[in-house]
Chains A and B, each alone.
Chain A
Amino acid sequence: KAGVTQTPRYLIKTRGQQVTLSCSPISGHRSVSWYQQTPGQGLQFLFEYFSETQRNKGNFPGRFSGRQFSNSRSEMNVSTLELGDSALYLCASSLLGLAGGRTSLGSYNEQFFGPGTRLTVL
Chain B
Amino acid sequence: TQLLEQSPQFLSIQEGENLTVYCNSSSVFSSLQWYRQEPGEGPVLLVTVVTGGEVKKLKRLTFQFGDARKDSSLHITAAQTGDTGLYLCAGQSRRDSSYKLIFGSGTRLLVRP
Contacts and interface: CB of A to CB of B under 8 A. Distances in A.
Interface residues of B, number: 23
A108 B104 contact: no
B92 A115 contact: no
Contacts of A90: 42-43
Given A92-B42, A114-B42, A115-B41, A43 B100 contact: no
A100 B30 contact: yes
Nearest to A59: B1
Prevailing SS type, chain A contact patch: strand
Contacts, number: 57
Contacts of A33: 101
Contacts of B106: 42-43
Interface string B37-53: 00011111100101000
A112 B46 CA distance: 11
Contacts of B23: none
Interface residues of A, number: 26
Interface of B: 30-31, 35, 40-45, 48, 50, 88, 90, 92, 98-106
20 contacts: A42-B106, A43-B106, A44-B103, A45-B100, A45-B102, A45-B103, A48-B99, A56-B100, A97-B99, A98-B100, A100-B30, A100-B31, A100-B99, A108-B50, A111-B45, A112-B45, A113-B44, A115-B41, A115-B42, A116-B42
